């Protein structure tokens, strides 16, 4: 079943100030209302996607419903007054520059929500990378359910290590019609978009995208020894927005005939597809620190837990000083395998390894023949189990190794430094474990997230 459809995109009419039109995803800067106040001052009375979204910093505010009503009114106004106009049906090739060494390349398409599911245990072709918190959906439905427009900030990831689908298009970008080319407000960098009109080019793209989940190729690619549900796209950003679109569609289709369901615009959701191997995507592991625990008890519990799950657990006995722990050391952190796909010893046994840090120093932990797809899942499943029976203990998720070492040097704290995240591991984790554990990885700063630009009718 093909997940992709060619959308009818709406863009602001010629002469619209796109710097004021485009704003960052609504789920960013949720603790910084001043960011959104500043954005409002930049936009002023100009047409803007800011007036078509509800920044999540305002969820639960006293005037939330008033803001939702204003959004729906503005959507209708932009369509009725021709502020938004349809362009030729097609995909949009996106080039985003945020000042790093490489631009991020993407492809805006419509995806069929019938091929997406966010429920736990789903085997759909499009699946989230992280657990969906269903309690977060109803507040977002207030905007989506009766809206007549949608704006995408959803990023779908594909696993195309040969860079054979999106990247060649960028080399030919001048062959396509330029839709937009503008700086973005609030440190968002620069973005350009090129229309790939519906036709042979879009057909070929859909074939290439669909081929990523061809059964035999899929099984060989991920070295799978048993059958797992095929995975075509993994939701990298905007998972709860996509889950909201799905929930809205499920509500809408209850009142439709089979014929109406087939092509109803709310069935299809605008997303930007990005290759996980895009050079601009920097995937960083998120480490763990436990507070108010006894290290010896933790190790004993780990041995019991992994043994009960059919794994062999080993813990190094040496305690070199924390200050001596460096990535470059071949006898310590540098020895950690770079990804689950290559975590094998001489006997071809898969191993997941971590560094444990404490006031005593650091040592290496290893789990042989793990029951989980990627190292972070192997660790987090134990930590979740441990914390259930140790209510006094707390956990925090840390981005920097230096912070882990600093916190772990204090009595009663234990840190875990995870290996580098291999991009292939993200798909392996979703395929084998269903979804990735929370706080598996970070992918870009808030200002790098998608800015709204294109629109599509959902009515």
Domain regions of the chain by residue span: 4-282+445-457, 284-422
Say how far apart CA 238 and CA 233 lie, in whole Å: 13
pLDDT of amino acid 450: 94
- Using an 8 Å Cβ cutoff, are 434 and 121 in contact? yes
The residues with which 368 forms a beta bridge, in sequence order, are 312, 351
pLDDT of amino acid 347: 57
Say how far apart CA 203 and CA 109 lie, in whole Å: 12
pLDDT of amino acid 39: 98
pLDDT of amino acid 332: 36
pLDDT of amino acid 327: 54
pLDDT of amino acid 284: 81
- pTM of the complete model: 0.82
Please list the rounded mean pLDDT of every run of 10 residues in the chain (459 residues).
93 97 93 94 98 93 93 97 97 95 96 93 90 85 94 95 96 97 97 98 97 94 91 92 95 93 96 96 88 94 96 86 59 35 56 93 93 90 94 88 89 93 84 82 84 96
CATH number of 284-422: 3.30.1760
pLDDT of amino acid 341: 31
pLDDT of amino acid 339: 37
């Amino acid at each position: 079943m093909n997940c992709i459809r060619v959308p009818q995109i709406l863009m602001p009419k010629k002469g619209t100030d796109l710097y004021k039109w485009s704003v960052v995803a609504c789920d960013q800067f949720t603790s910084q209302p001043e960011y959104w106040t500043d954005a409002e001052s930049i936009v002023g009375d100009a047409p803007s996607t800011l007036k078509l979204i509800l920044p999540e910093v305002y969820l639960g505010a006293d005037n939330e419903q008033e803001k939702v009503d204003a959004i729906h009114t503005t959507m209708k106004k932009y369509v009725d007054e021709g502020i938004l106009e349809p362009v030729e049906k097609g995909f949009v090739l996106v080039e985003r520059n945020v000042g790093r060494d490489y631009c991020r390349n993407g492809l805006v398409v419509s995806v069929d929500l019938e091929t997406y599911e966010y429920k736990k245990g789903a085997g759909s072709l499009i699946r989230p990378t992280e657990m969906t918190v269903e309690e977060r959906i109803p507040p977002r439905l207030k905007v989506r359910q009766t809206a007549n427009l949608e704006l995408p900030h959803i990023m779908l990831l594909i696993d195309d290590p040969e860079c054979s689908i999106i990247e060649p298009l960028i080399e030919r970008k001048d062959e396509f019609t330029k839709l937009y080319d503008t700086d973005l407000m609030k440190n968002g960098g620069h973005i350009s978009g090129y229309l790939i009109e519906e036709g042979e080019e879009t057909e070929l793209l859909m074939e290439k995208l669909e081929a990523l989940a061809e059964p035999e190729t899929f099984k060989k690619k991920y070295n799978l020894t048993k059958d797992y549900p095929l995975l075509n796209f993994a939701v990298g950003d905007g998972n709860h927005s996509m889950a909201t679109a799905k929930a809205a569609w499920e509500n809408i289709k209850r009142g439709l005939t089979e014929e109406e369901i087939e092509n109803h615009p709310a069935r299809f959701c605008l997303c930007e597809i990005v290759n996980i191997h895009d050079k601009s995507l920097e995937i960083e592991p998120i480490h763990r620190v436990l507070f108010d625990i006894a290290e010896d008890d933790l190790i004993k519990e780990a041995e019991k837990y992994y043994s009960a799950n059919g794994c062999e657990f080993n813990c190094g006995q040496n305690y070199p000083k924390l200050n001596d722990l460096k990535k470059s050391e071949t006898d310590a952190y540098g020895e950690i395998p770079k990804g689950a796909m290559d975590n094998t010893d001489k006997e071809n046994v898969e191993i997941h390894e971590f560094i444990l840090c404490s006031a005593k120093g650091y040592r290496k932990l290893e789990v042989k023949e793990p029951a989980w797809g990627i190292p972070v899942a192997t660790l987090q499943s134990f930590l979740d189990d441990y914390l259930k029976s140790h209510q006094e203990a707390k956990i925090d998720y840390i981005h920097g190794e230096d912070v882990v070492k600093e916190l772990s040097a204090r009595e009663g704290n234990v840190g875990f430094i995870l290996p580098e995240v291999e991009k292939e591991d993200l798909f392996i984790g979703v395929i084998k474990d269903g979804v990735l554990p929370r706080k598996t990885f970070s992918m870009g700063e808030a200002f790098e997230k998608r800015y709204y630009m294109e629109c599509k009718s959902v009515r």
